[in-house]
Amino acid sequence: MRKDGIFIAVAVDDQAATDGEFARRLTEACPVDIFAQRDGGGLEIVEQSLDECVLCRLCLDAAAGSHPGAVEVIKLYDDGAPLA
Distances (CA, A) of 62 to 6, 40, 66, 69: 24, 20, 8, 10
Q: What CATH number was assigned to the domain covering residues 2-78? A: 3.30.70.20
Which residues sit opposite 73 in a β-bridge? 10
Q: What is the pLDDT of residues 26-71, one digit of tens each?
A: 999 999 999 999 998 999 999 999 999 999 999 999 999 889 999 9
Mind giving me the DSSP string for 13-62?
A: -HHHHT-HHHHHHHHHH-TT--EEE-TTS-EEE-GGGGGG-----HHHHH
Q: Which pLDDT belongs to residue 27? A: 97
33 Cβ neighbours under 8 A, 6+ residues apart: 27, 46, 49, 52
- List the domain boundaries for the chain: 2-78
